[in-house]
Chains A and B, each alone.
Chain A
Amino acid sequence: QVQLVESGGGVVQPGRSLRLSCAASGFTFSTYDIHWVRQAPGKGLEWVAIIWYDGSKKYYADSVKGRFSISGDNSKNTVYLQMNSLKVDDTAVYYCARGGSVTTYRDAFDIWGQGTMVTVSS
């Protein structure tokens, strides 16, 4: 079935790096935008980053710009979120979500993964 599965979360010290993965199945991966969204414990949702369906555009929230990098590997149907210079404030559940495609509404995140927890702590 159509699904996204995140992995790579864990506990990391401030200033260190972590790479999250989002594996897609059940749909043509290379035709959809993929987003990362996070949620700090007890807080609301925060949009983090997008990679366009064709990989041509990548955009980031101001809070992570310059530290996080989104990339995709069509051969593995996987999107990555490389997180560098991690801060305590980056502690959150990280979700990947499917956005739109060239033939569907671009701004609807219709499929979500189950999330992966990232804890930044010394």
Chain B
Amino acid sequence: SSELTQDPAVSVALGQTVRITCQGDCLRSSYASWYQQKAGRAPVLVIYAKHNRPSGIPYRFSGSSSGNKASLTITGAQAEDEADYYCISRDSSGDRYVFGTGTKVTVL
């Protein structure tokens, strides 16, 4: 079955840059999207189709990918960026989806 692996937790100093990675074979054939989830809230789409930002998402969020790895970068992290982040992609069947294991971002 398809799996997407993320680092469980990362920390970043206020105003610095942090990169969150997502790795899995299904990323070779499908783009990743990224979701931010704050405690007790529904997820929010921050990046889709590898590097596109929905309206209202700050420019400091960017996405990229290469091979079987996708990345979400926060350039100039703010206190409000402290949250869990999840990647998602279509699985190997192409019809279903799989979420990454999630990364907790702490802003110091």
Indicate, yes or no, whether A interacts with B. yes
Closest-CB distance, A2 to chain B (whole angstroms): 12
Q: 8 Å CB contacts to B: which residues of A24-66?
A: 35, 37, 44-47, 50, 57, 59-62
Interface residues in B, total, Cβ within 8 A? 27
- Interface mask (B83-108 → A, CB under 8 Å = 1, otherwise 0): 01010111000011111111000000
A115 near B42 (CB under 8 angstroms)? yes
A45 near B37 (CB under 8 angstroms)? yes
Which one, A11-19, A67-75, A83-91, A105-113, is touching chain B? A105-113
| A80 contacts the other chain (CB 8 A) | no
Contacts of B97 on A, CB cut-off 8 Å? 35, 47, 50, 107
| A114 contacts the other chain (CB 8 A) | yes
Query: A47 and B99 in contact (CB under 8 A), knowing A110-B54, A114-B42?
Result: yes
B42 near A113 (CB under 8 angstroms)? yes
Which one, B16-24, B28-36, B74-82, is touching chain A? B28-36
A44 near B33 (CB under 8 angstroms)? no
Q: Closest chain B residue to A49 by CB distance? A: B96
Query: A110 and B98 in contact (CB under 8 A), knowing A44-B86, A45-B86?
Result: no
Contacts of B98 on A, CB cut-off 8 Å? 47
- B-binding residues in A (CB < 8 A): 35, 37, 44-47, 50, 57, 59-62, 95, 97, 105, 107-110, 112-115
Q: Closest chain A residue to B97 by CB distance? A: A47
B49 near A45 (CB under 8 angstroms)? no
Contacts of B31 on A, CB cut-off 8 Å? 107
Contacts of A95 on B, CB cut-off 8 Å? 42-43
Q: Closest chain B residue to A105 by CB distance? A: B49
For the complex of A and B, the 5 pairs showing the least CB-CB separation, nearest first, are A108-B48, A112-B42, A44-B102, A47-B97, A45-B99
How far, in whole Å, are A55 and B74 apart by their CA atoms in the complex? Answer: 37
A108 near B102 (CB under 8 angstroms)? no
Closest-CB distance, B83 to chain A (whole angstroms): 13
